[in-house]
Structure 1
Amino acid sequence: MHIESGFQPTPFAEENAYNSDAVFPSLLKRTLPKSVFQEVEPDLVRVGSEVVSALRALADSGKTFPPTLLQYDQWGRRIDKLQTSEGWRELKAIAQREGLPGIFYERKYNEYSRIYGFAKMTLMVGDSNEIFCPMSMTDGSARVIELLGTPEMKQRILPRLISRDPSYAFTSGQWMTERPGGSDISLTETTAQFTTKNNTFGPQYTLDGVKWFSSATDSEISVALGRTGLQQDGSRGLSLFLVPLRLPLIRSPSDPTPPPTSNNIRVHRLKNKIGTHILPTAELTLESTEGYLIGELGKGIKNISPVLNITRLWSATASIGNLRKCLAIATSYAKVRSIQSGKLLLQDAPIHVEQLASVNLVYRALTHLTFGVVGLLGKAECGTATLSEQRRLRMLTPVAKAYAAEKACTAMEEAMTALGGAGYMEENGFGRAIRDALVEKIWEGTIVVLALDLTRSATDPASMAAFLSWAKSTIDSCAGCIQEQSASVLSILREAIDEISVAYTEPLGPLIPRPALMLVGAIASSLYLLEHAVWAEKQSEPTKDLDAEVFRRWVLESGMEGAIKAIKRAKIDTGARIVLNSALVFGSKRTSKL
């Protein structure tokens, strides 16, 4: 039999990524002023159409291949020429033309510009081949320069970082990770020496050291930490610098492109990663590399924090964006795939729809959580956030990033299995989406690192009071049918809130931070879903009953009760558990040494 004869599977066809989305049309209607929503929605509909046509075609084309590094020319000269694909460069240009990150600094919609831009990014990210990694760092660097840059940086570099013109725009990297410390940047070895010169961009330094992970190696600039104090000063001895990848940084369009080694940056190798294959990530050596001080000496950690906060929300959005794509594929497939000798579509099989509903539930919860925090970021940047909202932003930024990464990856696998063997095929995009999304569990901090970061803010009584006040006011706003039908669910939510209110009291047990972060994630996502359900009921939205059901299911099925038990368990006999953990991992002989 020829392959063309016999049964022919029906290919699935995805609908407009925005119009068919389970969350965004309703979420944006609630969170944006009516005039803003009416103005930006047509643009999101346009993007939703292009995502499943032009953008996906480009991402899947032969024009997108991994970068290569040519270190030496035929005469043995070190040239470190990084070659990226045509598709990668075009994806970068598309993002810039779409206003990412320009939308955030044009601030046409004031505090709501963040929600609009992040919504656009969420629709695109699953088919953008990780182009939003350098765009996130460009966004963070733009914010640092906006806040702390010298007048010349603000005048000549900031406009390029936020430009919509790819021929003029810059992208930026962020160089923090070094061999000794990983996420512990207090062990940074890179040194920075003042040259006694003041460049047009500010005090000029020379940097020497190794940057172990440098994503966006094809960018025009990077922000980097360098040690201006003593090694024993730890993080207090670090300062922040703007580093051009080529010199001169600003030049005429008619000038030739300077060689890659013109600022004494050596690229030793490209990282061989599990995913994000098209993204050029390298090991770099800085050898008397020119850089310009940003902000005060010795304040490097504080000065780079806007980059971390912004990129963590981009990371959370990447998690939900990849999940959105996987869910959309699985949902579309269920509409065309028949079973039982062709008599029943998957969309009519209750056991199959139950699986898709569980994935849909995760997507809804993570999207509401992430965009709740994005909304707080927009307010903070525009000066409209209350002190309580600023504290809640500080608490929930690491939570959104860690919780979204943890939950989304598992849900993506569930969406893949909903296609059976067809889901395991590379052509449909599941493989790349899952591989790329896995990095969000690590990039900008693992769950453990972020749990410790949350601990630093949650142990502040004022921050915890702000979070608890928001939780109480959200529950108190619940009335009518939601309250009547959700009594048992609200009881679980209140128990979780009570548990978290004392979980961060000193002294804090060493095993508490991780389950505490997961519980804060479950609580916060539930509260944002409740906010939406209350709004839907008050506005008599057609989806009000479904929105209330989403809230109830999420409280019951998100693992909230398990997180409560995990915290309680972490408080009991911690010393014995730590010893037994070591025995489980390293062998029973280890216990005699503890």
Structure 2
Amino acid sequence: MRVEEGFQPVPFQEENTYTSDPVLPDLLKRTLPPSVFQQIEPDLIRLGGEIITSIRSLGDGNKISPPILTQYDQWGRRVDNLQTSEGWRDLKAVAQKEGIPGIFYERKFKEHSRVYGFAKMMMMVGDTHEVFCPLSMTDGSARVIELIGTPEMKKKILPRLISRDPSFAFTSGQWMTERPGGSDVSRTETTAVDTGKSHSFGPKYSLNGFKWFSSATDSEVSVALARTGTAEDGSRGLSLFLVPLRLPLLRERSDPPSSPVSNNIFVHRLKNKIGTHALPTAELTLTSTEAYLMGEPNQGIKNITPVLNITRLWSAATSVGNLRKCLSIATAYAKVRSIKGGSQLLQDTPIHVAQLASINLLYRALTHLTFGVISLLGKSECGVATTDELRRLRMLTPAAKAFAAEKACAGMEEAMAALGGAGYMEENGIGRSIRDALVEKIWEGTVVVLALDLARSAQDRESMESFTSWANRVISSAASDLQEIIQRPLDLLKNALEELRTAYTQPLPPLIPRPALMLVASIASSVYLLEHAIWSRTTQGHSSEVDVEVFRRWVLEGGTAAAIEDVKKAKEGANNRIDNNFAITFGNKRKARM
């Protein structure tokens, strides 16, 4: 039989990324002022159509490929010529033209600009091959310059970082990770020596060291940590610097391009990664590299914190955006794939729709959680956040990043399986989304690292009170008739809050941080879904029943009960469990260490 003969599978057709989304339109309608929503929705509808046509085509296999590094020329001279693919450059340019990250700093919509920009980013992320990695660091670097940059940095560098003109715009890296410590920067080996000279951008330093992971090696600048104190000072001896990747940093468009090694930054090698293949990630040697101090000396950790907070929310949105892409494919496939001899579509098969509904439930919960925290970030940056909102932002930033990264990949795998063998094919993009999204479990902190970070803020009594008071206010705002309908999930949610109150008591049990983070994120996502259900029941009669059901299912079936039990287990018998964990892992009881 010829391939053209016999049964012909019907290709699925994805719809407009915005209008077909089960969450974004109503979420934005609820959280944005009507005047803002009416202005931005046409732009989101336009973008939703372009994503599945022109933007997606920029990332096809003929245009995008891994970067290539040529370290030496024919005569043995060090050149470190890094070539990225046409598709990579075009996708980055499209994102910049769409106002990412420019929207955040134009602030046309004030504190709501963050929600608007992140909505565009999340819609695009599954089709843009991780260009938002460098753009997220560009966003963070722009914020640092806005807060503590010198006047000349604000005048000459900031406008380029937030520009919508790709021919003028800069992107920025973020160099923290080194071989001794990974996420622990206290053992940073890169040193910074004051040259005693001044530059228009600030005090000029000379950096020497080795950076183990530098995503966005094709950027124009980077922010970097380097040691100005002694090794014994640990993280207290680190300062933050703005590093030009090439010199001169600012040149006329008619000038020849600067040499890649003009600032004594040498690419040791490109990383061979599981995913994010188009993204140039490298190991870099800094040898008397010129850099400019940002902020006060030995305040590097404090000064780079805005970068970390911003990129963690980008990471959460990336996890959710990749899940959105996979769910969209699985939903579209169910509308065309027939079974039972062609007599029944998958969308009419209850057991299959149940699988899609569980993925949809996860997507809704993660989206509401992520955008709830994004909204807090917008308020913080515009100076309109209350003290309680700032405390919640501090707690929920690591929680949202870790929770989204942990949960989204499992949902993406379910979406792949919903297509059967067709889901395992590279052409549909699910495989790439899964590979790319796996890095979010590691980048900007693993779940364990983030759980320890959350513990530092959650142990503050006022922070925990701000969080629990907010949750209880939302619960109590539900009308009495609604409370009767959702009494079981409300009771479980209240139990979760009670368990959380004692989770972070001093001394902190050693096994508590990870399950406690999961409990915080389960509670927060549930509260955001409840907030939406209350609004929907009041204003959106056509969808209120679904929104109430989503809240009910998420609390009862989404893992809240398991999160409560995990926290209880971590509180009880910790020492015995730690010993047994060691024996299970290494085959013998651990020995006491002096």
TM-score (norm 2): 0.99
Is the deviation greater in 323-332 or in 563-572? 563-572
Distance 1:571 1:35 in 2: 49
Q: Structure 2: which amino acid aligns with 1:115?
A: V
* Alignment check: 8 A CA contact 2:214 2:282 kept: yes
Equivalent position SS for 1:129: coil
Distance 2:383 2:570 in 1: 39
Equivalent position SS for 2:502: helix
1:268-347 equivalences in 2 (<5 Å): 268-347=268-347
Structure 1: which 4+ aligned runs deviate by more than 6 Å? none
Distance 1:82 1:523 in 2: 46
Q: Return the offset for 1:571.
A: 1.1
1:188-587 equivalences in 2 (<5 Å): 188-587=188-587
Distance 2:51 2:327 in 1: 15
- Counterpart position of 1:182: 182
State the Cα deviation string for residues 80-99 of structure 1 (Å, max 9, x = none).
11110011000110010000
Equivalent position SS for 2:65: coil
Q: Structure 1: which amino acid aligns with 2:199?
A: N
Equivalent position SS for 2:241: strand
Tell whether 2:155 aligns with 1:142: no
Q: Return the offset for 1:540.
A: 3.7
- Counterpart position of 1:16: 16
Q: Structure 1: which amino acid aligns with 2:20?
A: S
Distance 2:498 2:488 in 1: 15
Q: Structure 2: which amino acid aligns with 1:445?
A: G
Tell whether 2:120 aligns with 1:123: no
Distance 1:116 1:203 in 2: 37
Equivalent position SS for 1:588: coil
Distance 2:23 2:59 in 1: 24
* Alignment check: 8 A CA contact 1:512 1:567 kept: yes
Distance 1:280 1:325 in 2: 23
Is the deviation greater in 52-61 or in 365-374? 52-61
* Alignment check: 8 A CA contact 1:582 1:591 kept: no
- Counterpart position of 1:113: 113
Distance 1:388 1:278 in 2: 41
Q: Structure 2: which amino acid aligns with 1:152?
A: E
State the Cα deviation string for residues 383-429 of structure 1 (Å, max 9, x = none).
00000000000000001100001110000000000000000001000
State the Cα deviation string for residues 416-470 of structure 1 (Å, max 9, x = none).
0000000000100011000000000000000000000000000011111110110
Q: Return the offset for 1:513.
A: 0.2
Distance 2:203 2:299 in 1: 15
Q: Structure 1: which amino acid aligns with 2:179?
A: R
TM-score (norm 1): 0.99
- Counterpart position of 1:35: 35
Q: Return the offset for 1:572.
A: 1.2
Q: Return the offset for 1:61.
A: 3.6
Superposed CA RMSD: 0.9
Equivalent position SS for 1:66: coil
Q: Structure 1: which 5+ runs fail to align?
A: none
Distance 1:255 1:535 in 2: 57
Q: Structure 2: which amino acid aligns with 1:502?
A: T
- Counterpart position of 1:152: 152
Distance 1:356 1:249 in 2: 50
Q: Return the offset for 1:179.
A: 0.2
Distance 2:210 2:385 in 1: 39
State the Cα deviation string for residues 164-188 of structure 1 (Å, max 9, x = none).
0000000000000000000000110
Tell whether 2:41 aligns with 1:47: no
Q: Return the offset for 1:57.
A: 1.4
Sequence identity percentage: 70
* Alignment check: 8 A CA contact 1:187 1:234 kept: yes
- Counterpart position of 2:56: 56
Q: Return the offset for 1:591.
A: 5.2
* Alignment check: 8 A CA contact 1:580 1:591 kept: no
* Alignment check: 8 A CA contact 1:579 1:591 kept: no
Q: Structure 2: which amino acid aligns with 1:122?
A: M
Q: Structure 2: which amino acid aligns with 1:501?
A: R
Is the deviation greater in 210-219 or in 472-481? 472-481
Q: Structure 2: which amino acid aligns with 1:411?
A: G
* Alignment check: 8 A CA contact 1:583 1:591 kept: no
State the Cα deviation string for residues 457-512 of structure 1 (Å, max 9, x = none).
00011111110110110111111432110111100000000101110111110000
Q: Structure 2: which 5+ runs fail to align?
A: none
* Alignment check: 8 A CA contact 2:172 2:223 kept: yes
Equivalent position SS for 2:433: helix
Distance 1:25 1:167 in 2: 33
Q: Structure 1: which amino acid aligns with 2:447?
A: I
Distance 1:480 1:418 in 2: 39
Distance 2:170 2:481 in 1: 52
Q: Return the offset for 1:558.
A: 1.4
User: For residues 288 and 593 of structure 1, do their structure 2 counterparts lie closer, same or farther at Cα, with a shift above 3 Å needed?
Assistant: closer
Distance 1:517 1:358 in 2: 22
Is the deviation greater in 356-365 or in 253-262? 253-262
Equivalent position SS for 1:126: helix
Distance 1:375 1:541 in 2: 25
Distance 1:337 1:417 in 2: 14
Q: Return the offset for 1:70.
A: 0.2
Distance 1:55 1:400 in 2: 28
Distance 2:584 2:199 in 1: 57
State the Cα deviation string for residues 108-157 of structure 1 (Å, max 9, x = none).
00000000000000100000000000000000000000000000000000
